[in-house]
Amino acid sequence: MSVISGKNIILGVTAGIAAYKATYLVRLFIKAGANVKVIMTPASKDFVTPLTLSTLSKNPVHSTFYDKEEENELWNNHVDLAIWADYFVIAPATANTLSKMANGTCDNLLLATYLSAKCKVYFAPAMDLDMYKHQSTKENLVKLESFGNSMIPAESGELASGLMGEGRMAEPETILSFIENDIITGLPLRGKKVLLTAGPTYEAIDPVRFIGNHSSGKMGFELAKEAANLGAEVILISGPSNEEVDHALIQRVDVISAEEMYQAAHQYFKDIDIAILAAAVADFKSATVASQKIKKKEASLTIELTKTKDILASLGEQKQQQFLVGFALETNNELENAKSKLRRKNLDLIVLNSLRDKGAGFKKATNKVTLIDKQENITEFGLKSKTEVAQDIFNEIIKSIHA
Ligand code: CTP
């Protein structure tokens, strides 16, 4: 999955012959799963039609502050567009537009949006070789990079003028991989290894029966996805779960019992930077596992239960560089119970779920959590989707790691 999947991209198109390549670029962004809106400078419409770009981007193309031909014209708010965008890509970026960007000129919608944008800006210059070599262009490019904008360098080759040299806009595939690599390099958990446990465990009674619980694994899987989206390499140890995950950075290890989860967690823990134990591990298992199916000939059956190993507590004992996060599911005296669990299991952070909160807990798409750190700072969150809860948890972890 591409790092731009689900992201909002504004593609700014300016008036150069390479504008036709913007059509391919829109297609690549869309194929990678991004949402795309196109802003064109008025003159760029001589090179490529708004109809082509709106069809490919699945969104209306903007080029003026309002559309005079519409009966009830609407103001194309550059501030709203800028807020919407996660990334702003200007390709092709002509010498004229680059000069205006470098100097804060704001005489069209694209430039007004650029000036309002707080997101990362990429630009792909496209011009004739002498314009590209001109001292004023060079100075503008340096100035734009000093603003934190990233240049996707022009390539050498035959130019539309027939001249050979530098100035040709990078190919759409090159632009996409430049942006993807840049985003990946800047991710906050890049180079970090994250261990997650998720789902229930099943403790066998006989070949067909087990002790289990209603955990779906959703929260743990959302945490795994979020860690990978933040650039981490993830080991996801999952008990039996219907959840699915497909991400190049996530390695899924399937286990069934608490003992298997314990072994797997210990196998990977040494090299881990952050471990989050979100699994609902069975606390008890059958003392003996019958090798044949137990028959119902008796009127009652007593199963002796013994405790499973506490994975979180044992990792807490071995902890060195690892930032260790546990979950607490409580029904009463929640904060005190969670704090004592944090201390007892030697954790850096505990995620408290209260079963008294509506929308929290097993099998739901939502959760309501309170985070308690080692210093016993308490942060309460509202009812949110499990995806958002995963983001909140990682924001807190990243803050703590960098504190
Ligand atoms: N946990 C674990 N291994 C176990 C049991 C729990 O790793 N055998 C982890 C869970 O993944 C979770 C946390 O410990 O992160 C939850 O602990 P919990 O089971 O709620 O509390 P306990 O410490 O077992 O205490 P109590 O049952 O008294 O609430």
SS3 137: helix
Q: Quote the pLDDT of residue 72.
A: 65
Q: Quote the pLDDT of residue 226.
A: 96
Distance 308 CA to ligand 1 centre (A): 10
Q: Quote the pLDDT of residue 362.
A: 67
Q: 332 catalytic, yes or no?
A: no
- Phi, psi of 317, rounded to the nearest 5 degrees: -70, -35
| Ligand 1 near 328 CB (within 6 A) | yes
Ligand 1 atom nearest residue 327's Cα: 15
| Contacts of 205 by beta carbon, 8 Å cutoff, 6+ apart | 211, 286, 289, 290, 294, 303
Is the per-residue pLDDT at 314 higher than 80? yes
pTM (2 d.p.): 0.81
**Residue corresponding to tokens 């130019």:** 159
Per DSSP, what are the bridge partners of residue 247? none
Q: Whose CA is nearest to atom 8 of ligand 1?
A: 310
Closest CA to 35 of 3, 61, 9, 1: 9
Using pLDDT thresholds of 50, 70 and 90, give the confidence band for residue 67.
confident
Token digits of residue 336: 């005190």
Distance 276 CA to ligand 1 centre (A): 12
Q: Quote the pLDDT of residue 156.
A: 93
Distance 328 CA to ligand 1 centre (A): 7
Ligand 1 atom nearest residue 309's Cα: 8
Distance 298 CA to ligand 1 centre (A): 34
Tell me the average pLDDT of the chain.
94
**CA-to-CA distance for 343 and 321, rounded, in angstroms?**
17
How far is the CA of 185 from the CAs of 6, 190, 229, 250, 269, in angstroms? 18, 7, 12, 17, 25
| Ligand 1 near 283 CB (within 6 A) | yes
Using pLDDT thresholds of 50, 70 and 90, give the confidence band for residue 363.
low
Closest CA to 197 of 270, 280, 256: 280
| C-alpha 350: how far from chain center | 22
Q: In order of start, what are the domains of the chain with their CATH numbers?
A: 8-185 (3.40.50.1950), 193-401 (3.40.50.10300)
- Average of per-residue pLDDT across 366-378: 94
Q: Tell me whether the omega of the peptide bond preceding residue 92 falls within 30 degrees of 0, making it cis.
A: yes
- Average of per-residue pLDDT across 134-145: 98
Q: Whose CA is nearest to atom 9 of ligand 1?
A: 312
Q: Quote the pLDDT of residue 78.
A: 84
Q: Quote the pLDDT of residue 361.
A: 64
Token digits of residue 307: 């405790």
Ligand 1 atom nearest residue 278's Cα: 11
Is the per-residue pLDDT at 356 higher than 90? no
| Ligand 1 near 281 CB (within 6 A) | yes
| C-alpha 359: how far from chain center | 24
| Ligand 1 near 276 CB (within 6 A) | no
- Of the listed 8, 59, 213, 337, which one is catalytic? 213
In this structure, the chain runs to a length of 403
| In the chain, % of residues over pLDDT 90 | 86
Distance 19 CA to ligand 1 centre (A): 58
The sign of the CA dihedral 72, 78, 79, 85 is: positive
Closest CA to 112 of 97, 126, 127: 97
| Ligand 1 near 312 CB (within 6 A) | yes
| Ligand 1 near 3 CB (within 6 A) | no
Q: At what angle do helices 135-146 and 95-103 cross, to 10 degrees?
A: 50
